[in-house]
Amino acid sequence: MTHFIYLVRHGEHQDAQHGLHDGPLSARGRRQASLVADRLSGVPLDAVWHSPLERAAQTARIVAERLPAVSPEPSALLFDCVPTGMTPETPAAFEPFFGSITEAEVDAGRAQMADAVSEYLVRRQGDVHELLITHNFVIAWFVRHVLQAPEWRWMTLNQAHGGLTVISQKHGRPWTMNAFNDLAHLPFELRTGLPEQSLV
């Protein structure tokens, strides 16, 4: 009996290249969402959760159109957030990133991710398959937690738009990483959202 969690980063949104926080999916983002749905079409999903932000909600709606047996539900625990600030262990190279992040934002992000881990990384009974459509930093935090890596390491984990990460837990065993940022379902021209040097 295994509990599977499929973590998907939302599709590319129209305003991503203009510095705006949220917006509807771009044409590429809609295609990414459709291909994620195709990739998951053989998975007996028990639940689909998504961030309330528009780019994640629209990704979830497209998945539901192609997988009509699922009914996506929003979860505030999957909002985009910054779960830590600078720590003594954080490399100085990351300091500029935190220059515009307030202490209140970090406190809220930390509390949110603590609640998210308590809500989702809890062993369910029987075989369970859950899909979480969320954001890069949230997925990175889940992965860091599963790998028991230092807190700052979430900053080094990046997912492409529509990338698929899979974690699982068998009864009595720790959580396991099955796949990270799998892009096999996306053609090269749809692989967006990663640093340019990572896309070659």
pLDDT tens sequence across 163-178 = 999 999 998 899 999 9
What is the reported pTM? 0.94
φ/ψ (deg, to 5) at 132: -115, 115
Element (H or E) spanning 143, and its range?
helix 136-147
- How many whole angstroms separate alpha carbon 145 and alpha carbon 70? 27
Rg, the chain, Cα only? 16
Q: Give the CATH fold of the 2-192 domain.
A: Rossmann fold (3.40.50)
Residue found under tokens 């809220």 = 108
**For all residues of the chain together, what is the average pLDDT?**
92
Q: Please give the residue that has the higher pLDDT: either 109 or 14.
A: 109
CA distance 9 to 163: 6
Q: What are 73's strand-pairing partners?
A: 49
Average pLDDT over residues 127-144: 97
